[in-house]
């Protein structure tokens, strides 16, 4: 009798660490998941992947980690923090150039942005270097042969992608480099998308943690994140489900 098993299913509190850029979509998916696994309470913690990595390394309880960059997950895997065989590439995002409402500077492309940076004629918000979106931005600078220290006066930093998005929304900068999905969630217009040639592919890996308290429940939720229903939510803001 399945109903009996469901009722006796032990209540589980699942701790999920997720990149800040997943906030809106994951909240919605967690809500949907209550119908699938009513005995599981998911407690999400959203921050930059770099900060979440440090927290996990410092021994924070975490069952499932969804990172916005491969490097953070690679580090954890090298340190033996990932449950063997659980890692997978969940989503692809795109790095976008977004502008405030009305686009006062008339910025239309990364090519144009590079010229403005070289002439010192733009104020740009980007992520810190320990944040994946900041690391992708550094690759874009390298692609255009731009020395970040030489354009310091043109830059302002955010400790996660949401902070960068806020600076663009408030119009305190001329433009910012964020993910497509963040631009979408914040109602901003992306004027250009970075190509794989500029900054590589933007892959979001997910994995169950080696010292997860609820590894089985984490595996089940991770499997749910790959269903069509979850993919629809992710894709509604511009992610590509892999």
Residues 6+ apart with CB under 8 A from 226: 88, 90, 241
Q: Which pLDDT does position 8 carry in this prediction?
A: 60
First to last CA, the chain: 36
DSSP string, 116-156: HHHTT---EEEE-TTSHHHHHHHHHHHHTT--GGGGGGGEE
Q: Mean pLDDT for each consecutive 10-residue tract of the chain (242 residues)?
A: 55 96 95 97 95 97 96 96 98 97 96 97 95 93 97 96 94 96 90 96 96 97 98 95 96
CB 9 within 8 Å of CB 36: no
Q: Which pLDDT does position 205 carry in this prediction?
A: 98
Q: Which pLDDT does position 2 carry in this prediction?
A: 46
Q: Which pLDDT does position 7 carry in this prediction?
A: 52
Handedness of CA 225, 229, 230, 231 (dihedral sign): positive
Interatomic CA distance for residues 22 and 67, integer angstroms: 9
Half-sphere exposure of 113 (CA within 13 A, CB side): 30
Residues 6+ apart with CB under 8 A from 239: 25, 91, 92, 93, 181, 204
């Amino acid at each position: 009798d399945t109903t009996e098993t469901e009722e006796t299913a032990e209540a589980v509190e699942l701790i999920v660490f997720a990149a800040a850029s997943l906030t809106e979509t994951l909240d919605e998916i967690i809500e949907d998941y209550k119908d699938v696994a009513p005995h599981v309470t998911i407690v999400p913690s959203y921050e930059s992947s770099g900060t979440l990595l440090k927290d996990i390394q410092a021994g924070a309880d975490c069952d499932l980690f969804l990172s916005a960059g491969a490097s953070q997950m690679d580090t954890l895997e090298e340190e033996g923090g990932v449950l063997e065989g659980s890692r997978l590439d969940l989503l692809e995002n795109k790095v976008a150039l977004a502008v405030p409402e009305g686009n006062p500077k008339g910025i239309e492309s990364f090519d144009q942005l590079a010229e403005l940076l070289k002439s010192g004629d733009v104020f740009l918000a980007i992520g810190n270097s320990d944040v994946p979106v900041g690391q992708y931005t550094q690759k874009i600078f390298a692609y255009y042969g731009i020395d970040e220290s030489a354009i310091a006066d043109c830059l302002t930093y955010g400790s996660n992608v949401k902070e960068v998005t806020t600076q663009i929304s408030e119009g305190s900068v001329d433009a910012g480099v964020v993910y497509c999905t963040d631009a979408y969630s914040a109602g901003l217009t992306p004027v250009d998308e970075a190509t794989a040639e500029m900054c590589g592919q933007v892959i979001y890996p997910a994995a169950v943690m080696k010292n997860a308290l609820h590894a089985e429940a984490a595996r089940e939720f991770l499997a749910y994140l790959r269903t069509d229903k979850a993919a629809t939510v992710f894709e509604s803001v511009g992610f590509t489900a892999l």
